[in-house]
Amino acid sequence: MLKEPEMNWTASNTDLAELGLSLIAFGAINNGNMDMIKIVEGCGKIFGIDLGNIYNIYAQIKNRKKDPTKFLDKLKP
């Protein structure tokens, strides 16, 4: 069981996975040399969320035709 987080993620699990994947692509963690699963699971642990099947979420994100970076685009001013 996950420890109760001090911060609560209120966007979707897919949004959190997209954020984690973007950190990898940007090279923001270990210069981009880290397993995708570890980064995304780490993001989930920060907020006490079990993201479930990361590969399914990753496939959903990669298969987006219209908005491949939907969550990140919402962060732009």
pLDDT at 18: 93
Neighbours of 70 (CB within 10 A): 14
Tens-digit pLDDT profile for the chain (77 aa)? 556 657 889 999 999 999 998 998 899 999 988 888 898 888 888 888 888 898 899 899 989 988 889 999 999 98
Residue with tokens 């990753």: 58
Which two structure tokens, joined as six digits, stand for 47? 């907020």
pLDDT at 4: 63
pLDDT at 27: 92
What pTM value is reported for the model? 0.81
Which two structure tokens, joined as six digits, stand for 28? 């923001």
